[in-house]
């Protein structure tokens, strides 16, 4: 679908925990923070990949 369209956009959403991994002292949320960091990292990698391989 992205290749067939004249223009395409990809939007990924996450939370502020993709930038820092704390919401306060004595609050455990390791899995949540790790997932948000993963979304941010995936998006950054996807930008690079698409710049190299996207059709023009």
Q: What is the mean predicted confidence (pLDDT) over 6-16?
A: 84
pLDDT of the residue at 1 = 63
Q: Is the pLDDT reported for residue 42 higher than 90?
A: yes
d(CA 37, CA 46): 14
Under a CB-based contact definition with an 8 Å cutoff, are residues 10 and 46 in contact? yes
At 51, list the tokens. Answer: 């710049």
Every domain of the chain and the residues it spans: 16-53
- Measuring CA to CA, which residue among 14, 10, 56 is closest to residue 37? 14
């Amino acid at each position: 679908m992205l290749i067939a369209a004249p223009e395409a956009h990809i939007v990924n959403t996450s939370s502020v925990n993709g930038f820092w991994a704390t919401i306060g002292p004595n609050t455990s949320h390791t899995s949540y923070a790790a997932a948000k960091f993963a979304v941010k990292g995936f998006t950054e990698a996807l930008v690079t990949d698409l710049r190299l391989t996207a059709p023009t």
